[in-house]
Structure 1
Amino acid sequence: MSASARPATTPHTATRQLHCACCGRPFVRPSTRGPAPLYCSVDCQKQMRVRTRVWSQRDDSPFGLRRAS
């Protein structure tokens, strides 16, 4: 079997560079198991949780996620 006909041993997603959904920095996926991470660090995860909470509490929320009174 030639090298070009041999199947790749690593999945495509393992070699793809990811970008953080919070800060946009590129990062490498630490593991090929499970879903791809959205954030590059724990700090970005916390920041996005805070942003989501604050955005959902706004009266002029653009997503229609107004809190019940």
Structure 2
Amino acid sequence: MAETTTIRISRDTHARVARLAAARHETIDETVSNAIRALRQDAMARDLAPELTEDETAWLDADAG
């Protein structure tokens, strides 16, 4: 394992993460890393969700020719 550090979380949160990690057959570190990745992906999806502007649509439809 890489270098480690300590973060403070409630006992309830620790227990929930530990249960989730056990159910997924992962370490707590892997579960937290996967959760962070999922949150980042969710944020990226929200950024990409709005409809394209007319200029963006025109740019994407332009002939690259």
TM-score (norm 2): 0.34
TM-score (norm 1): 0.32
The structure with the greater share of residues assigned to strand is: 1
Higher relative contact order (CA 8 A, sep 6+): 1
The structure that has the greater radius of gyration is: 2
